[in-house]
């Protein structure tokens, strides 16, 4: 069983523990968590499997193990990083173009604006989620579901990369006509800029000949294409996540479709004047790559 030098209750050499943790749980952890003799070892560490694996933690409470790990080694429960992957062979070219566009905006905020565009849908029935209640939240009763069948409503929105302003349009269907209508709305929303860069994904509607032809009416609008399947480069995706977390999960408006739509619009409408908090939430302020592209060197 792995050990480390221990003197006066203080671990003097943490490196063996750090090295062993990087290898992942093994036989000691398997025995600790086994349901049967053929149970495989777990893939992740827990306080129980750490205590079972390292002799220096034996006899400690789980709370004691936690305090020792965090206080001595700076080891805490952390989420693993997502391995992003896009199959687009032009990923680097498109990514670098987005960064260049952000650089241009940072240098010419009075003449150039950039928005991230995307669509989302939500249903009448609430999304599941945790809540502070005496018993677990239940789905709508059968009678309510029969009286209020599920529906899907859609939104097309645009997030300003510098101000955090949000413009949106909601409809039963977001197709070619609504995308064109939204371009017209964006053109009116930014009357003073020379260029309006619209970063968007490769949904077939965005590149439909009718949509591209209609764009000629608003020559200031320039589509900027994301790499294929790369939502991590579109910060408005995180705005949708915020909307789902704060409004759509476990909402009580399944029987009042109009009020639910009004509440969604109210949530998005609060950002009509821009929001620095929203920019921080979506990663356009701070130390992220997109945020750094918006910073002008001193």
Which residues have CB under 8 Å from 258's CB, separation 6+?
none
Q: Is 62 left (phi over 0), alpha (psi -120 to 50) or beta?
A: alpha
Which secondary-structure segment (H or E) carries 260? helix 257-269
At 97 the pLDDT is: 97
pLDDT digits (tens, 9 = 90+) for 278-292: 999 999 999 899 999
Contacts made by residues 207-213, CB under 8 angstroms, sequence distance 24+: 208/176, 210/176, 210/180, 211/176, 211/179, 211/180, 211/183
Q: What percent of the chain has pLDDT over 90?
A: 72
What pTM value is reported for the model? 0.78
Complete domains list, the chain, with CATH: 6-73 (no CATH), 91-293 (3.30.420.10)
Which helix (H) or strand (E) segment holds residue 120: the answer is strand 112-123
CA-CA distance, 5 to 211, in Å (whole number)? Answer: 69
β-pair partners for 121: 154
- pLDDT tops 60 at residue 4: no
Q: Which residues make Cβ contacts (< 8 Å) with residue 36, sequence separation at least 6?
A: none
The torsion angles phi and psi of 4, rounded to 5 degrees, stand at -145, 150
pLDDT band at 10 (very low <50, low <70, confident <90, very high): very low
Q: What integer is the mean pLDDT of 2-31?
A: 75
């Amino acid at each position: 069983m792995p050990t480390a030098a221990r003197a006066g209750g203080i671990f003097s050499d943490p490196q063996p523990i750090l090295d062993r943790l990087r290898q992942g749980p093994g036989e000691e952890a398997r025995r600790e968590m086994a349901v049967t003799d053929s149970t495989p070892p777990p893939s992740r560490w827990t306080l129980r499997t750490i205590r079972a694996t390292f002799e220096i933690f034996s006899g400690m409470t789980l709370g004691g193990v936690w305090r020792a790990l965090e206080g001595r080694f700076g080891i805490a429960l952390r989420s693993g990083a997502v391995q992003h992957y896009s199959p687009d062979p032009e990923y680097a070219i498109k990514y670098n173009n987005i960064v260049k566009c952000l650089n241009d905006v940072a240098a010419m905020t009075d003449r150039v604006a950039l928005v991230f565009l995307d669509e989302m849908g939500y249903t009448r029935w609430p999304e599941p989620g945790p809540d502070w209640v005496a018993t677990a939240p239940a789905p709508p009763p059968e009678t309510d579901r029969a009286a209020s069948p599920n529906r899907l409503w859609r939104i097309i929105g645009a997030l300003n990369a510098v101000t955090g302003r949000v413009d949106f349009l909601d409809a039963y269907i977001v197709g070619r006509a609504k995308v064109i209508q939204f371009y017209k709305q964006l053109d009116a929303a930014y009357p003073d800029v020379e260029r309006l860069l619209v970063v968007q994904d490769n949904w077939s509607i965005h590149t439909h000949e009718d949509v591209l032809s209609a764009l000629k009416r608003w020559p200031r609008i320039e589509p900027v294409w994301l790499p294929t399947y790369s939502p991590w480069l579109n910060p408005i995706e995180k705005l949708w996540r915020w909307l789902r977390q704060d409004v759509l999960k476990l909402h009580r408006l399944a029987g009042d479709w109009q009020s639910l739509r009004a509440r969604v619009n109210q949530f998005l409408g609060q950002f009509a004047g821009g929001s620095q908090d929203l920019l921080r939430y979506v990663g356009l302020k701070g130390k992220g790559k997109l945020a750094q592209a918006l910073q002008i060197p001193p």
